[in-house]
A = this chain, B = another copy of it.
Amino acid sequence: MATIIDGKKVAEEVLAECAGEIAELKEAGITPGLAVVLVGEDPASQVYVNSKVRKCAELGIHSEKIVLSKEATQEEVLETVQRLNADPAIHGILVQSPPPPQIHEEEIVRAIEPAKDVDGFHPENVAKLALEDSTGFVPCTPAGCMRLLKAAGVETSGAEAVVVGRSMIVGKPMALLLMARGSDATVTVAHSRTKDLAAVCRRADIIVAAVGIAEFIGADFVKEGATIIDVGINRVEDASAKRGYRLCGDVAFDEVLEKAGAVTPVPGGVGPMTIAMLMKNTIKAAKALG
């Protein structure tokens, strides 16, 4: 039976580290500040934004939640970002994705001061990740996955890792982190065009699943003893559930349990780590910006 990697517990460890660092910063007269910009009323985005703001409050990070109307123009969003760039009380800025269709997201991301880009999506930080320059910000989800691997005692050096998915939010940064010097995994990036994905995954000592398809990674994808990090969060209709749906990952959790060495659950795996790493990035920004 696989070990279940407890993302909540690891996130608590990260947050405890954060608390110590925040106390030190406050002694030096610095209160880390995070601004979260939400454009429109997407219910899922509201849930994410609120949980980020709540976590800031718990930790003693100053936070600002800025809600622009769903009709906001590109200029209004850009002006908001520029105001936050110039605000010395704000060390981290993120614009919740996805914005409404009239907003050109890439331009917004580019407008964020790279030193405040705690999501790690600015080209400056994308490049630093590729160049293995540790002064940049690593996107929170892949950073959280790396931390889970470390917490679970998984040796990455020389390990075969398969990342399923090639997005710039998870797949590619995850691959870059795993192949970087110090991590030293042999990394395969697989995706929708991969032939015999199950066979490719069966080579893996470490699988990172970021495909966005509920319970896609079944037992036949898993080598005996492999570690599986499940990045997916999918809603599946479930009449027996109170809300009419249940949350599940990209991994068929029950099915892989007997084969895998370790696996993250959904919820309670990568999810809590993402928010913890956002706090970590905000503190890193505050330390650098002072």
- Which residues of A are interface residues toward B (Cβ below 8 A)? 123-124, 126-128, 130-131, 157-158, 160, 166, 168, 172, 175-176, 179, 184, 186-191, 193-195, 200, 203
Contact = CB atoms under 8 A, between A and B. Distances in A.
Closest 6 CB pairs of A and B: A123-B127, A184-B193, A188-B188, A126-B127, A186-B194, A127-B127
- Tell me if A's interface is mostly helix, strand, loop or mixed: mixed
Nearest to A157: B193
Nearest to A171: B179
9 contacts: A123-B123, A123-B124, A123-B127, A130-B168, A131-B168, A172-B176, A186-B189, A186-B193, A186-B195
Contacts of A194: 158, 186
Given A126-B131, A131-B168, A168-B130, A179 B189 contact: yes
Nearest to A181: B166
| Oligomer: number of copies | 2
Contacts of A189: 175, 179, 186-188
Nearest to A123: B127
Nearest to A186: B194
Contacts of A195: 158, 160, 186
A286 to B, nearest CB: 23
A193 to B, nearest CB: 4
Contacts of A175: 175, 189
A157 B245 CA distance: 36
A172 B168 CA distance: 15
B187 A188 contact: yes
Nearest to A197: B186
Nearest to A173: B130
Nearest to A127: B123
Nearest to A183: B193
A211 to B, nearest CB: 14
A166 B179 contact: yes
Contacts of A158: 193-195
Nearest to A185: B193
Contacts of A123: 123-124, 127-128, 131
Task: Count chain B CB atoms within 10 A of each CB in A130, A184, A188 and give the residue with the most.
Answer: A188
Which of the listed residues A166, A179, A184 has the most CB atoms from chain B within 10 Å of its own CB?
A179
Contacts of A191: 179, 184, 186
Contacts of A157: 193
A216 B21 CA distance: 48
A192 to B, nearest CB: 8
A200 to B, nearest CB: 6
Given A123-B131, A175-B175, A187-B189, 12 more contacts: A123-B124, A127-B127, A130-B168, A130-B172, A160-B195, A160-B200, A172-B179, A179-B189, A184-B191, A186-B200, A187-B188, A188-B189
